[in-house]
Amino acid sequence: MSAGKKHVHAFGASRRWLSSERVAVSVLEELGYNVLEMRKKVVVNETVVGEVDAVVDDGTGQLFAVEIKAGKIDISGIRQAYVNSVILGMKPLVICKGFADDAAKELAEKLGVKIIQLSDIFLVESEELEIILREVVEDAIANYFEIFYGMPHNINPSYMEILKTVAETATIDEAAERLGTDTRTLMKRIDEMRNAGIIPRWAKRYVALKRIAQLFIQRQNIFKLMNDIANYHELLKSVEQQLNQLMQLLSTMQKQMDKIQQLPRQVST
């Protein structure tokens, strides 16, 4: 195979996997999972020995190490998913298009690897796809506008600290470490913020939480700037009034001085 054909084949496989990843993430969210992190490194004694495609929370605090396969899963893939999950201290979960053979299925059952199977074919007509994409984009824009204008102004200082930390960190683990807590406790606090209407319920992936936190902080900064401008405007109005009063006072004093200067002339005449 020529280098050009190899490149095209690799590019196609890469795009196919990314498409499967997006579909898998959507399926997980539809099933009620919170996607906390993508492409998490598996580290042993400060050495990276692997990577899982995603880390998710099932809503009860149970974490899953997720492997996403564009095709069918074989024995090697089952072993990889299981080992990575054990190292991370999570449960294994694989999203794929079925088992490569019966041996893979039996091993998954034996090791307790949870399997979510996707259909082999996702068919959408081009016109339908255009409509779907347009609606998705419009909904996303509307969601963020609602967040910008609908967020409460007065927020508990501890929630504000969480928002600032999330806005500045790349992963849930990093945020928890900076806040001096663990991932499960932080997720519970984030759930409290959802119940309080600070974070929308659709924001489950960490990247979405990060965007919302950044949006909220920017909104706070904008409102503070607008408030400062309003205060400066009021200050300028006050200064203007004081200047007018001063000008009136000076005018009155000038008139009095003119009268005083005219007194000697009147006496002499």
Domains of the chain by residue range:
3-117, 126-222
User: Where residue 266 falls among pLDDT bands split at 50, 70, 90?
Assistant: low
CATH code for the domain defined by 3-117:
3.40.1350.10
What percentage of the chain exceeds 90 in pLDDT?
32
User: Where residue 9 falls among pLDDT bands split at 50, 70, 90?
Assistant: very low
CA distance 240 to 53: 63
Distances (CA, A) of 94 to 26, 35, 53, 99, 113: 14, 14, 10, 11, 7
Q: According to the 3-state scheme, what is the secondary structure of 155-222?
A: CCHHHHHHHHHHHHCCCHHHHHHHHCCCHHHHHHHHHHHHHCCCCCCCCCCHHHHHHHHHHHHHHHHH
Phi, psi dihedral angles at 132 (to 5 degrees): -60, -45
Residue, of 123 and 57, whose pLDDT is higher: 57
pLDDT at 179: 93
Residue 269 above 60 pLDDT?
A: no
pLDDT at 144: 66
CA distance 76 to 52: 14
Q: Which two tokens stand for residue 249?
A: 């006072």
Residue, of 125 and 225, whose pLDDT is higher: 225
pLDDT at 127: 53
Residue, of 8 and 65, whose pLDDT is higher: 65
CA distance 34 to 197: 17
What percentage of the chain exceeds 70 in pLDDT?
77
CA distance 99 to 78: 10
pLDDT at 181: 92
Which of 32-36, 137-141, 192-196, 205-209 is predicted least confidently? 137-141
Task: List, for residues 43-64, the tens digit of each pLDDT value.
Answer: 999 899 999 999 999 888 899 9
Contact 108, 115 (CB under 8 A): yes
Burial of 166 (0-12, 13-18, 19+ CB in 10 A): buried
